[in-house]
Amino acid sequence: MTKPSTGDFDATSGGVGDRIGRYRLLRTLGAGGMGRVCLARSEGGRTVAVKLIKPELAAEPEFRERFRLEVAAARRVSDRWTAPVLDADTEAETPWVATGYIAGPSLEHIVSPQGHGPLPAPSVRTLAHGLACALLDIHGAGLVHRDLKPSNVLITIDGPRVIDFGIARALDAIPGSTPTSSGMLVGSPRFMSPEQLRDEPVGPAADVFCMGTVLAYAATGQTPFGGGGSGGVHAVMFRIAQEEPDLTGIEEPVRGLIADCLAKDPAARPTPEEVVARMQPVATGTSSPPWLPAQIIAELGRSAVQLLDTDTPPHASAMAAPVAAAYVSSPAPAEPAPTSATSSAASLVTWEEPSASERSERSEWGTQVVPRPDHGRTEPTPSPRPRRAGRGRRTAIVLAAAAVVAGGVYAASAADLQLPYAGSESASTSGDDGGVTSDVPKEFVGVWAGEVERDGKPTDQYRRFVVSSGQVGEVVATSISLGENYECKSDGKLAAKPSGGGTSLRLDTKVVSSVPSGSCSALGEHVLSRTDGDSLRWEAAGRTAELHRIKGPEELPEELLGTWQRPLANGGTQRMTIERTAVGSPAATMVSDGGGEHCEADMNLVSVGDADSPARFAPPAIDRAASSGACLRGGSSTLRTEGDTLVRELADGRRLTYTRV
C-alpha cells in the first residue's frame, strides 16, 4: 500500500493524502478520538469513508491486535442497516479501514436547531425499528457498538443506517499505564449506559440503553437526562446512573419502549428482537407514505447531489482545500444509498437445535429486499451543448428527489411497509444518460415462491425469494426456507453478471437468522434461471424448485385476523392472535395456560396464501423470559378457515382447530 506522510495524519493538517490502498482521498469528513475520517473514491468509482487511526494508538501493540480482531468481526455484519466494512489494512504503519458511504445527514444534524427539529411520532417509530434491526446484525456478529449516538446514525430515504460500530472496543486493549489511556472513556457521556459510566463489563444491553437515549433525542430534541447545566457532564452522568429519564412530550407506544430501554438494570431492558416486534411500523394501505417529512427528503436529494459534485482529483496537488461536510457530522458515514431499496430485518429468534441431518438442508435470510420500483424516472432531454461527465446522473437524482417530495413515490421500505410495486415487474434502470444501471435483468425482479424437490421428489420444504435490482457484489436477493421444524433466512449477493443472455443469476448466500437459532448453514451457490412462462427455476446443492411470481400486495386474509382459542389436553387453553404484518415478521402470537405452565410464543409469517393454498407460518419462537414450564415446541404450520373455525395444520399432519374469541 502507499504510505502517506506523517503530516497527512496530523489533526491540525488541512490537506489529505494522495492514496490509501486503492482509494484516493477527496476531503476530510471529521476527526475523533481514534483518528480522522476522509471521503475517498476507489479506482472503480465507488465512494467510501476511510478511517485513519492516530499514530499514537497504532503504536500500541495491544490496540493494534484488538483493532485487527474488531475489523474482522465488523466484516461479518450485514450491510442492510449499517455501513459495511469494505477494505482494511490493519498492518500498515497507520492502520485504516474503509466502509461504505451514505450521502445522508446524521440524526444529530436532522434534529438539531440548525436542522429540522424533533421527528414526528411515526418517524420515531420507524427509527426505533431500524436501529433495533441494526443492533441485531451487529450483536449477531459478536460485537457491541458501545458508542450509539445521533452522530453515528445516518438518515436515508430507506431507513436509518448505523455507523462506527465495534471498532471503538479496540481502545479497551490499551494498558492503563500508557499515556494514551489516561482519562480515556469509550463513548459519549450523554448517550452512555450506566454500566459504561461505572466501567463495568459492557454487553448488548448497553447498546439498547443508548438506543433509548437516541430515540428520546429524536422525539424531543433533548437528551432524557439533560444537558448538564451548571453541573456539566458529571451531573449528566449522575442522572444517567441514579435518576429516572425525562420523557415529557413523547407519545405512546414509543414512550413506553424508551422507558423500558432506559432501565438501570441491563437484564430488565428489552432485547433488540423485542424492540423489532414492538415497533413494527403500521401500514396504512398498499401505498404507504415516506417515513420522513418532505423537507428532510428534499435534503437527502441535495446531499446526494453534493456527493456527485465531488470530483476525484488526479493527484494530491490537484486537490482543493477540504470542504466542510454540510450534512455529515459523524466521522464515519455509510454506503451509497441509490443501489437498492430494502426493508426492515425480520425478528431474530431463539429456538432449539434440530438434528445434524436437518442442518445441512438449510439456508437463511435476514432482511427482506423490496423490489426497487421504477419510480417513473424521467430521462432528461439531451442537451445540444457539451456537458461534463456525471451531469445526467445528477439531474436524474434531482428529478427522483422531486418526485419523492411531490408524490411520496418512495415508501418506507426500511420500515417493512409494503411498496405498491412489491411483486411486480419493476424494471431495472439502464440508459446512456447517467441512470443507475442494474446487473439484474428486470425479468428477475419481484417476489417468487415454490415447493422444493430433491431428485425429483417433494421434500415438504417451501422457498421464497425476493429479487431486487442491484449490481455485482451487492445483496440483490433475500430468501426464506421453510421446513417441518425450521425457518431459515439468507441474503444473496450477485456473484457475477448474468450469463446465457441474461437467463440466469448466480448468488452467493450468507446465513443471517434461523428458527431454531444456529440451525442453518448456507447451501453454497444458488442459481435462478428463467423458464417458459412467469416462473423461475431455483437450484442449490441438489435441490430444485419452480418458483412462481407473487403479484400484488401480500396481506393475510381478513377472515384469519383476530383472536382465536382452543382447549388443551391438560385442561387449559391456548389463545392465538393473528395480525397483518410483513412477510418474514411475527404475525401470530400464542399464549397457552394450563397444567401449571404459562407459555408465550410468536410465529413468523412466510406466505399469506391464496385461494388455492393456506397461509404458511414458521415454527413458534418461545419467549422464555415470559414463559414458565417446559413449553414444548411445535413445528411449521398452515392456517386457513373452515366456516367459523380456524384450522392450524402442522407439518407432521396434526390438525388443530380454534374458535373465534
Show the domains of the chain with their CATH numbers: 6-278 (1.10.510.10), 339-393+409-550 (2.40.128.500), 558-660 (2.40.128)
Residue 56: per-residue pLDDT: 87
Torsion of CA 455, 460, 463, 464, to 10 degrees: 140
Inter-residue contact 104 to 392 (CB < 8 Å): no
Rounded CA-CA distance 186/617 in Å is 43
Inter-residue contact 344 to 489 (CB < 8 Å): no
Among 96-110, 270-284, 358-372, 429-443, the range with the most confident prediction by mean pLDDT is: 96-110
Beta bridge partners of 463: 450, 481
Return the minimum-mean-pLDDT range out of 318-332, 500-514, 520-534, 574-588. Answer: 318-332
Rounded CA-CA distance 624/375 in Å is 44
Question: 540-579, pLDDT tens digit by residue?
Answer: 988 999 999 998 778 899 999 999 999 998 899 999 999 9
Sign of CA dihedral 329, 335, 336, 338: negative
- Considering only residues 543 and 341, tell me which one the structure prediction assigns the higher pLDDT: 543
- Considering only residues 174 and 423, tell me which one the structure prediction assigns the higher pLDDT: 174
Residue 283: per-residue pLDDT: 53
Residue 194: per-residue pLDDT: 94
Rounded CA-CA distance 408/497 in Å is 32
Question: 477-523, pLDDT tens digit by residue?
Answer: 889 999 998 999 888 889 988 866 788 999 998 878 888 877 787 77
Quote the cell numbers at residue 503: 437467463
- Considering only residues 547 and 68, tell me which one the structure prediction assigns the higher pLDDT: 547
Rounded CA-CA distance 22/315 in Å is 13
Pairing of strands 475-482, 573-578: unpaired
> Is 646 a residue whose pLDDT tops 50?
yes
- Considering only residues 408 and 600, tell me which one the structure prediction assigns the higher pLDDT: 600
The rounded percent of the chain whose pLDDT value lies above 70 is: 71
> Is 315 a residue whose pLDDT tops 50?
no
Mean pLDDT of 330-343: 33
Tell which phi-psi region holds residue 376, choosing left (phi > 0), alpha (psi between -120 and 50) or beta: left
Rounded CA-CA distance 446/469 in Å is 9
Among 71-85, 240-254, 300-314, 497-511, the range with the most confident prediction by mean pLDDT is: 240-254
- Of all helices (H) and strands (E), which one includes residue 211? helix 204-220
- Considering only residues 436 and 116, tell me which one the structure prediction assigns the higher pLDDT: 116
Question: 377-391, pLDDT tens digit by residue?
Answer: 333 333 333 333 333
Q: How confident is the model at residue 61 (pLDDT cuts 50, 70, 90)?
A: confident
Q: How confident is the model at residue 259 (pLDDT cuts 50, 70, 90)?
A: very high
Rounded CA-CA distance 441/438 in Å is 7
> Is 311 a residue whose pLDDT tops 80?
no
Q: Cis omega (within 30 of 0) on the bond before 516?
A: yes
Q: Cis omega (within 30 of 0) on the bond before 253?
A: yes
Question: 464-479, pLDDT tens digit by residue?
Answer: 998 888 888 888 888 9
Residues with catalytic annotation? 147
Mean pLDDT of 438-443: 88
Inter-residue contact 49 to 35 (CB < 8 Å): no
